[in-house]
Structure 1
Amino acid sequence: DLKTLLASPENLILLPELLIAAFAIKFGAALVFKPAFSWRETFAAGALLSARLSLIIAASAIALDLGVITDAVNTAIVLVAIITVTASPILFDFLLPKRAEARRQGVIIVSSRELALALAKQLAKIMPVTLVTRFPFRQADLPDPNIRLVQGDARDPEVLRRAGAHQAAALVCLSGEPLFNEQVCKLALQTFNLEHVVTWQPDEQHRLDELERLGVKVIYPGMAMLMALEGSVLFPESFDVIAHQAEDMELRQVRLRNRRYHERALREVRLPGDVLVVRVQRGEERIVPHGETALQLGDVLLLVGSPAFIEDAVRILEEEEGI
């Protein structure tokens, strides 16, 4: 009953008094969080706790029926509930704005075998690479000066943390010891939540089924050879780009984050230079794209084109501020 509340100055003063009390009580209670959190986080918790709605309105209605409070007090309490439930999340967002999640990037290669060094050299052309090895190794022995070297046992979480596992996009473990590979892969998945973990198993008689169930991509030499041979026959041009790493052509995988291209047909997406989209992966579905293929946020696109134009295309497609 707003008329009752507005009938006198005494009733009007009741509303701000109740609001101040509602926030003060909850902000005071939130101080118990201070030993574990910052002041900003503590006050943000107080803001969330200040929201009131159904319980306080029900209690007020009962009190009004019992004659304990007047219509003016009941109206003030209902308004306090409405104001706090509206203002609290706004105040929370102001005190504790969302932090943009740091995008993972780069790859960690665990091993100093020739195969690992060759892979590191190739990947260092397009992304940050960190090499982790248990054995004596010098920075000068690395095939590319941009490769970062971390020495230590990758089964130790602190070693992987020094290698940047909390920020890396992928980890490849290429030790000749299957048990070592298994332990490192599990650590990468379970402790550092790495999305892309790859290892190999030279002995194809002993498949790493448990790792595959966990989501680790396991490469078996025989399978890799078969795929390479099949690719060279079915897709000779693409295979040539991959196998010979031509200086004027590059393949790159990118996740679509630019909202500008969500639900847009591929023919409407103007990519720089000679860059083409040759495959789209949407969850478990692999799509051979054509002009009418509608892109969706989160799609993983396989691009092919000149290195300089590829970089521009990746930047455009990954840009999160698209309209």
Structure 2
Amino acid sequence: PLITGLIITGIIAGSSVLNFISPNALDRLNFLNEIALSIIAFSAGSELYLNELRSRVKSIKWMTISQLFITFIISSVVIYFAATSIPFMAEMPSSHKIAVAVLFGTIFVARSPSSAIAVINEMRANGPFTKTVMGVTVVKDVLVIILFAICFAIAKALINDESTGVLFFVLLIIELITSFALGYLLGKILQIPFLTKFDTQLKGIAVILIGYSVYLFTGFIKIKSLELFNHEFILEPLLICIIGSFVLTNYSKHRIEFSQTLKEISPIIYIVFFTLTGASLSVQTLISVFGIAVALFLLRLVIMFFGGVVGVYAANDNKKFALIAWMPYLTQAGVALGLATIISKEFPTWGHEFETIVIAIIVLNQLIGPPLFKWSLNIVKESHLRAKNKTQTVKRDAVIFGLENQSLALANQLKKNNWKAQIINTDKESENDNHEIDITHISSINYTSLKKLGLENTEAIILMLSDEDNYKITELIYENIGIKDVIVRLNKRENFEKFHKLGALIIEPATAMVSLLDHFVRSPNAASLLLGMDDDQDSMDVAIRNKDIHGMRLRDLRLPADVLVLSVKRKGQVLVSHGYTRMRLGDIITLVGSPTSLEELKFKFNT
């Protein structure tokens, strides 16, 4: 919807409606398109983080191969034979039709990682299907630019009636190898701004200038090679940028800062790019080709359906994915539009109509793709949105033994932090006038009573009774249930050791008060954080249950910029953690950061 809105805004501001942006202005502002294309390529490369693709390599490989080749080959063939129905292709010779069909096929392969990430975050999706989708999406965006570099060179040769013999393909291979080598060098150059202590805005400006310099350099090489050798040596700037971003993301320690910088500079870049793209469109042309765009949209949809089925069976994935495997890959955005813009500039006689058709297809994909993706996530049950009639009974569920003012205050505080709190009352005579807290009465403390409470699914149990009753409950839990977090309010200091042997977390009120006051004197900021007095910061313990995290080094975790790791606890022992500490299933990481980021990480690590 955002991209569609920007394109429509551009159409209104362009020469077709209000003429705020004239065709001459568009020519003078072409450098903004080149900057935007470099940032789009950087963003696509930064999403391809190899460590996060390990668990689904087989599925990602086969789905990528099937989607790439089936979509490209079938769409190219169908468009070639349907060329007479497309006005600007109808009178073309066969060689030109092949060139245009191949370019259409290349763009049909492109996908939108940003749209996929937005849907996944909105649906809080996680699981094998989601991981495959994300892996295929980012891998395809890299491969489609490589495919485009090859097809674009071949298309230019066919349309310009140039020879496509052995020498042509030798030169093409040399150009591609050179582009890869320059991409690797660019990956090293991109690290330079992040070695400095400049603020984020200056680093963002540096990234923009480096991206634009790639276009200036490749343009210079193209002109000079024509002057010196009477042949254009074509280096693909998009390919160089995406390889450079990939190198930085996977082989440097600046991955997180680079990604954060791109997130901050991308919105303004995209606003300019998509608005200018809309301004370049003709309303009359858009109306005339809209029927063709709908037909090609449906063609792409059907082809992707077959590609999805083949991919699922080739990877031997769960067959229930077969009929919906195509749905997540429908949406297109920046990369597809960027490629269409390049084609429009290179082939002015028919490129404008080509670009208009592609933009119309992208708009349709933007409108229909995300709802289909959401639907597929619901079908495979990998969406984790809050249920309407269910609370989170397994996680964030606390049971408090003892009815008194402190237990009521604790229950209310937990509820404010989205925990489900229940108080267990063991005193018949105590009255219950509180209708907001779930209060349950038990007549005696024994295993039968505890079993009826269903404590197996409870995350934390807080004991606020006498030491004798607290110990009885702790022992029953230790021997029969095994809840990891049993928190005991101690009444007598001499009972500390026997609770400690059962693994309970012990709070002795008098000592706790002295310790808290001491911390407020020596570390007021840390004490404020502990008590939740800072609305923008909080701390959280998160257990590692995601198999993809197992074995990863702490430095390789993709943590938000506002989150820090305070400690790592493994099998009851606190580790002296550093960047090379490898995560293990069951590790408990203590994090500090904004509440929103902490919730995202809890979901990522726990799933």
TM-score, length-normalised on structure 1? Answer: 0.58
* Equivalent residue number for residue 274 of structure 1: 562
Is 1:117 equivalent to 2:408 in the alignment?
Answer: yes
Which range is displaced more, 209-218 or 294-303? Answer: 209-218
Paired residues in the alignment total 212
- Give how far 1:313 is off: 0.8
Which residue identity lines up with residue 468 of structure 2 in the other structure?
L
SS at match of 1:166: helix
Is 1:315 equivalent to 2:600 in the alignment?
Answer: no
C-alpha deviations, 1:161-195, integer Å up to 9, x for none?
343212212211102x2222222222222232223
* Equivalent residue number for residue 141 of structure 1: 434
* Equivalent residue number for residue 399 of structure 2: 108
C-alpha distance in 1, partners of 2:484/2:551? Answer: 26
C-alpha distance in 2, partners of 1:133/1:274? Answer: 41
For residues 309 and 154 of structure 1, do their structure 2 counterparts lie closer, same or farther at Cα, with a shift above 3 Å needed?
Answer: farther
* Equivalent residue number for residue 544 of structure 2: 256
**RMSD of aligned alpha carbons:** 2.6
Which residue identity lines up with residue 166 of structure 1 in the other structure?
E
Which residue identity lines up with residue 318 of structure 1 in the other structure?
N
Is the CA contact 2:474–2:502 (under 8 Å) kept in the aligned structure 1?
no
Quick one: which of 441, 451, 454 aligns to 1:164?
454
SS at match of 1:120: helix
C-alpha distance in 2, partners of 1:191/1:263? Answer: 32
- Give how far 1:315 is off: 0.3
- Aligned-pair identity in percent equals 25
Aligned 1:31-110 pairs, distance under 5 A: 106-110=397-401
- Give how far 1:228 is off: 1.9
- Give how far 1:237 is off: 2.0
SS at match of 2:579: coil
C-alpha distance in 2, partners of 1:246/1:285? Answer: 29
Quick one: which of 468, 489, 502 aligns to 1:179?
468
Higher fraction of strand: 1
Is 1:242 equivalent to 2:530 in the alignment?
Answer: yes
Question: Structure 1 unaligned runs (5+)?
Answer: 1-101
C-alpha deviations, 1:95-152, integer Å up to 9, x for none?
xxxxxxx9665221101122212222222314322111134444x626xx4x432122
* Equivalent residue number for residue 131 of structure 1: 423
Quick one: which of 213, 225, 228 aligns to 2:513?
225
For residues 259 and 214 of structure 1, do their structure 2 counterparts lie closer, same or farther at Cα, with a shift above 3 Å needed?
Answer: same
SS at match of 1:228: helix
Is the CA contact 1:249–1:307 (under 8 Å) kept in the aligned structure 2?
yes
- Give how far 1:196 is off: 2.3
Quick one: which of 579, 582, 587 aligns to 1:294?
582
Which range is displaced more, 294-303 or 310-319? Answer: 294-303
C-alpha distance in 1, partners of 2:441/2:406? Answer: 18
- Give how far 1:255 is off: 0.7
Is the CA contact 1:255–1:300 (under 8 Å) kept in the aligned structure 2?
yes
C-alpha distance in 1, partners of 2:514/2:418? Answer: 27
C-alpha deviations, 1:236-259, integer Å up to 9, x for none?
322111224433222111111122
For residues 289 and 239 of structure 1, do their structure 2 counterparts lie closer, same or farther at Cα, with a shift above 3 Å needed?
Answer: farther
C-alpha distance in 2, partners of 1:290/1:236? Answer: 26
* Equivalent residue number for residue 64 of structure 1: none
* Equivalent residue number for residue 196 of structure 1: 485
Is the CA contact 1:189–1:197 (under 8 Å) kept in the aligned structure 2?
no
C-alpha deviations, 1:219-278, integer Å up to 9, x for none?
222332343234334543221112244332221111111222223222321124622222
Is 1:150 equivalent to 2:440 in the alignment?
Answer: yes
Which residue identity lines up with residue 151 of structure 1 in the other structure?
H
Higher fraction of helix: 2
Which range is displaced more, 253-262 or 225-234? Answer: 225-234
For residues 305 and 137 of structure 1, do their structure 2 counterparts lie closer, same or farther at Cα, with a shift above 3 Å needed?
Answer: farther
Which residue identity lines up with residue 402 of structure 2 in the other structure?
S
TM-score, length-normalised on structure 2? Answer: 0.32
C-alpha distance in 2, partners of 1:274/1:137? Answer: 46
Is the CA contact 2:396–2:418 (under 8 Å) kept in the aligned structure 1?
no
